[in-house]
């Protein structure tokens, strides 16, 4: 019984350590911006919506390009590494993963909309 408890404890410690490392890596890879901060800079940057096309067509931030996270590995070269990149998705999870991927490809000016499109109150465009 005690052995099982030690195994469960070791797994929990491992999971917590992994989560901590991921959070640290994410913080180094991308800057989380409030909507106000996002609005201040996205017009001078590359605005990328990483949601899927159906989500994008239902409504997206005015001026955004759609490069779905499912296609990012094949299409990342459409994003210039020398210009700031502003990413967003529905909640922030996919844009965080996209930022981690782009960081590995040596993109340095990565920003994401805190809370994602779900909380956006600015101008949108839909088809």
* 3-class SS letters over 30-78: CEEECHHHHHHHHCCCEEEECCCHHHHHHCEECCCEECCHHHHHHHHHH
Predicted confidence (pLDDT) per residue in 99-121, tens digit: 989 999 999 999 999 999 998 99
Superfamily of domain 2-125: Rhodanese-like domain (3.40.250.10)
**Pair 117, 90: CB distance under 8 Å:** yes
Q: What is the pTM of this model?
A: 0.79
| Angstrom distance (rounded) from CA 29 to CA 106 | 10
Residues with a catalytic annotation lie at 89
Predicted confidence (pLDDT) per residue in 15-32, tens digit: 776 565 555 555 666 889
């Amino acid at each position: 019984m005690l052995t099982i408890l030690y195994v469960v404890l070791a797994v929990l410690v491992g999971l917590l350590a992994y989560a901590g490392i991921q959070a640290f890596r994410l913080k180094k890879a991308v800057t989380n911006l409030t909507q106000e901060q996002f609005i201040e800079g996205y017009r001078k940057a590359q605005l990328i919506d990483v949601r899927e096309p159906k989500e994008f067509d239902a409504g997206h931030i005015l001026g955004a390009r759609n490069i779905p996270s499912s296609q990012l590995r094949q299409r990342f070269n459409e994003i210039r590494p020398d210009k700031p990149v502003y990413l967003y998705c529905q909640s922030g999870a996919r844009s965080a993963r996209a930022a981690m991927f782009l960081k590995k490809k040596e993109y340095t000016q990565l920003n994401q909309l805190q809370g994602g499109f779900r909380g956006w109150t600015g101008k949108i465009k839909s088809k």
